[in-house]
Amino acid sequence: MGLVQKVLMKDLLIGLRRTVTYNYQKAITMQYPKEKWTPYPRFRGVIRLTHDEEGNLKCIACGMCARACPVGCITVKTEGKGKERKLVDFVIDFGVCLFCGLCVEACPVKGKAIEMTSYYEAATYDRNEMIFDINKLQADYKAWERSFKK
């Protein structure tokens, strides 16, 4: 056997040994959706609007988050002017969202009126379902997640 053949045979055996070893090892892939991944604390999942102690939305309808959003997927709909300014609707298109978190950083409200959650199961076949309005953005995502499993 020439030198070239010896080298090739050695490489082949190394490759085969690795394949056989992996075949008898415990699989490290997660069997989703039966198994769920626990996100890291700083994971940026689906966004939610937050409430104060009385259960009111903290949002003051300033629009800073919408201006900070690099893809313009936030729409803050308001009514009235000055102190009479009221939040009418708050819409995020998660089909466009980058989950960058800049909207949360831009929010001037103490304790933040908008937050990233650890919820990540928002995949759908219908793009329209990825547009969340003010009601959907206050959903209890954990309960929602459970309702999907029924």
Report how many residues bind ligand SF4 under the rule CB under 6 A: 27
Which of 46, 48, 97, 132 lies at the binding interface for ligand SF4 (CB under 6 A)? 97
Closest distance to ligand SF4 from the beta carbon of 103 (Å) = 3
Q: Judged by CB under 6 A, which of 107, 119, 132, 136 binds ligand SF4? A: 107
Of 26-34, 35-43, 107-115, 118-126, the segment contacting ligand SF4 by CB under 6 A is: 107-115
Which of residues 16 and 98 has its CB atom nearest to ligand SF4 in the complex? Answer: 98
β-pair partners for 132: 92
- Residue 46 binds ligand SF4, judged by CB under 6 A: no
Write out the residues near ligand SF4 by the rule CB under 6 A: 59-65, 68-71, 73-74, 76, 92, 97-103, 106-107, 109, 113-114
